[in-house]
A and B are shown apart, each in its own frame.
Chain A
Amino acid sequence: EPEVTQTPSHQVTQMGQEVILRCVPISNHLYFYWYRQILGQKVEFLVSFYNNEISEKSEIFDDQFSVERPDGSNFTLKIRSTKLEDSAMYFCASSDSGGGNQPQHFGDGTRLSIL
């Protein structure tokens, strides 16, 4: 069964450094998402992306964050200057259509640790 893949599985970065989290969504999917889960807390929406542009973003997704689909297969999340509070598990998801009734398929996540 096709799946969403994320790399790396664990990223350790010094505070203030830039980090790029990578995702390969399911190949025929058109909608892409990033979520994060701070340890012990619930999964929170960050951003959705369709047709090469952001369709919605949360208040968490400030100017330090950006997303990109640099080619036909990858979807990346960049954090420009990391803060301690960015430490979390970041999940990428994709779906084959919008409208809310199609399930989103999640990757296994990247655990980001900011020192």
Chain B
Amino acid sequence: AQSVTQLGSHVSVSEGALVLLRCNYSSSVPPYLFWYVQYPNQGLQLLLKYTTGATLVKGINGFEAEFKKSETSFHLTKPSAHMSDAAEYFCAVSDLKSSGDKLTFGTGTRLAVRP
């Protein structure tokens, strides 16, 4: 079965600082990987995805993530944090079982941005 590990349930950065949210996955086959963001009292919004091709993927709001197969990682970064980035971030992997394509989520990382 697929699994996702997000190191750090809470991350705090200063406005303008680098954001790094970590995600590692386990998979016996090449995965499809996603980052979602959840703002308070809202649903999950897709930030970016990796399926095939270029391992560095760019998403919305200046975020990007790099798929590193050798490290089984898909860390999310943003060069300069903004106050509006404060939210919960979820890494997810798509299950490649033939019967379906469910998402398996990590436990989430809550990002706080200090002024």
Contact = CB atoms under 8 A, between A and B. Distances in A.
B41 interface: yes
Interface residues of A, number: 29
A45 B45 CA distance: 16
Range of interface residues on chain B?
20 to 34
Nearest to B100: A56
B56 interface: no
Interface in A27-72: 31, 33, 35, 41-45, 48, 55-56, 58
A104 interface: yes
A30 B97 CA distance: 18
A48 B100 CA distance: 7
A103 B102 contact: no
B40 to A, nearest CB: 11
A43 B105 contact: yes
Given A4-B43, A56-B102, A108-B43, 8 more contacts: A6-B43, A58-B102, A95-B101, A100-B95, A101-B32, A103-B46, A106-B36, A106-B45
